Amino acid sequence: MLPTYDDKGKIFTPVVTKKPVSVTLQTATHRIIGNIHVRHDHRLKDELDSAEAFIAVTNAKIYDANGSMILQSSFLAVQCQQIIWIIPNEEE
């Protein structure tokens, strides 16, 4: 794919700016704490309602039903249909 240029000769790249939102989400078997990246003009719910089958979670910590952390990852793709509930974490 060739780069495109604007009228001033600058290279145009379709970069989507997003802000990280710290969340806790629950699946049927695990609780996940991490960041979901939301477009500046969207809400968290808008990201969940998109046509995408998966949502990206960064800096993810995955806990089992007993509350023990079982895995930590810089990136996790969660199938949206598996999310039971999700809440934004309060700013510290």
- What pLDDT was estimated at residue 2? 66
- What pLDDT was estimated at residue 1? 58
- What pLDDT was estimated at residue 90? 79
Average pLDDT, the chain: 88
Q: Taking 60 as the threshold, does the pLDDT of residue 92 lie above it?
A: no
Rounded to whole angstroms, the Cα distance separating 57 from 75 reads: 6
Integer CA distances (angstroms), 86 to 13, 23, 51, 78, in order: 32, 7, 18, 12
pLDDT digits (tens, 9 = 90+) for 35-76: 999 988 888 888 888 888 999 999 999 999 999 999 999 999
Q: Taking 90 as the threshold, does the pLDDT of residue 81 lie above it?
A: yes
